[in-house]
Amino acid sequence: MLATPGYIAMHRDTPHVAKPERDRLPKVLNQASARRFLEENGWTATQGGKRVKMTKEGHRPITLSHHRGGDYPQGLTDAILRQAGLKGGGER
């Protein structure tokens, strides 16, 4: 969008509001970063090993697979965030 004088005048006094930390969603997760991110948002790990089960009162449990030790594909990252209620779409 081009910055026209009317646009600048209209938005000049609008204060910049920083988003809370939990609204900054990670682009790609792996098992360790997903576990850390979910724990920061109130989830607890109930089982460990190659698969980690994350639980939170009022939500269905989320299982985080090891996935060969690498990053999760984008679709799996999005699904984990949706299941946790941290990204639009909600639970199914």
Domains of the chain: 5-83 (3.30.920.30)
Token digits of residue 40: 């920061």
| Per-residue pLDDT reduced to its tens digit, 73-82 | 999 999 999 9
Residue type, 68: R
Strand runs (DSSP E) across 22-67, as ranges? 44-47, 52-55, 62-64
Q: How much is the pLDDT for 88?
A: 79
Token digits of residue 55: 């639980």
| Per-residue pLDDT reduced to its tens digit, 34-62 | 999 999 999 999 887 788 999 999 999 99
- As a whole number, mean pLDDT of residues 82-87 equals 90
CB within 8 A of 37, min separation 6: which ones?
A: 26, 29
